Amino acid sequence: MKNVRLFFITCFALISFIAFTTKDVNASEIMQSKTGVDPHYDWTIKFNRELDRNTLNKIQVRDAAGLIINTKKQLLADGKSVKVFAPEQGYTNGKTYRLEIQAVKSKFAHLLKNTTIMPFTIKDAEPEPQLTEGLSKKEQQLAKLLNQYRESKGLKALPISKSLTEVARAHVKDSNAYSPENGVDKRGIKCNLHSWSANGKWSPVCYTSDHKYASNMWDKPRELTDYNGDGFEISVGYSSTTNVQITPEQALKSWQGSQSHNDVIIGIGYWAELTTMGVGIDGSYAHVWFGTVQDPSGYY
């Protein structure tokens, strides 16, 4: 019977169909190198027969100097596939490694005598984000997360409006100080996070779920800045009495979990017309304002 060795490699995942042979073969086979690999990527190798788990230590990852990298190996449920986990701290960005498979035995003592080697190079580290002048670290991170999410959907990043950011900051400050969402309107309907107190240079509004007072919220950029267009807001927060600090990551996750808020971020329907945004996040609240017109005050 002819001995056959079969290999199938995907772009990033190693899915190798490796056939065992009883013929003595001592040569090494170098497989095509993989580049741009994530530092925490886990490789999967598939053989054509069930493996002897006691020989999994023959599957190794080495660095460019030939030193063995400490990796965990797991025999998967089918008995033929092995998962090689990345080191706990990850591989080093920009460095080249090689995955070696040698002297592995099948469950029935068939021996894989030739060595298979697959070089792979870890992608370069992403540059540290630079703090955008005029934005706090939290604001910069929130803006970055929102635009990364948009870009993951094939959308353009939105420029950060100075005027809309001023509105967002004012609302964050008002929310932390007075929690206007805890009030009710004259009908007894509870206010929500789009509400503004009567303690500032703006018209107060108890924004209710039926959107009865929507225009009072849309006008806020014109009330507070030179921005000559409606503003639209997404908000998230804890009651200021809890003293819980909200993070940019928590804010985005909350909005992604709400279809109406998520639609605004990724421009579904009417929201496809949005061209700019302003960010505010501090204490227990995060407010992001969106608009459709140019900001005469410029952008961050």
pLDDT in tens, 81-99: 999 999 988 999 999 999 9
Q: CB burial class (10 A; 0-12, 13-18, 19+) of residue 73?
A: middle
DSSP class of residue 293 equals S
In angstroms, rounded to a whole number, what is the distance separating the alpha carbons of residues 238 and 205? 19
CA angle 280, 284, 286 (to 5 degrees): 25
Q: What pLDDT score was predicted for residue 61? A: 96
Tokens 């999410």 sit on residue: 149
Specify the 3-state DSSP secondary structure of 17.
strand
DSSP class of residue 274 equals -
Statement: residue 30 has pLDDT above 90: no
Higher model confidence: residue 133 or residue 205? 205
Check: CB of residue 204 under 8 Å from CB of residue 196. Answer: yes
Give the torsion through C-alpha atoms of 219, 225, 226, 228, to 10 deg.
-20
Check: CB of residue 58 under 8 Å from CB of residue 101. Answer: yes
Q: What pLDDT score was predicted for residue 121? A: 96
In angstroms, rounded to a whole number, what is the distance separating the alpha carbons of residues 191 and 184? 5
In angstroms, rounded to a whole number, what is the distance separating the alpha carbons of residues 253 and 264? 14
- Nearest one of 27, 57, 48, 61 to 106, comparing CA atoms: 48
For residue 260, the surrounding DSSP H or E stretch is helix 259-265
- Name residue 120's beta-bridge partners: 34, 97
Q: Rounded to two decimals, what is the model's pTM?
A: 0.58
Q: What pLDDT score was predicted for residue 63? A: 96
The confidence band for 127, taking pLDDT boundaries of 50, 70 and 90, is: low
Tokens of 167: 């509105």
Higher model confidence: residue 20 or residue 292? 292
| Strands lying side by side in the sheet with 81-84 | 17-18, 43-47, 81-84, 73-75
Q: Where are the alpha helices (DSSP H) in 121-247?
A: 137-152, 162-178, 214-218, 220-224
- Name residue 69's beta-bridge partners: 61
In angstroms, rounded to a whole number, what is the distance separating the alpha carbons of residues 172 and 279? 10
Higher model confidence: residue 243 or residue 185? 185
Averaged pLDDT for residues 23-27:
37
Tokens 């635009």 sit on residue: 147
Tokens 């490699």 sit on residue: 9
In angstroms, rounded to a whole number, what is the distance separating the alpha carbons of residues 269 and 260? 11
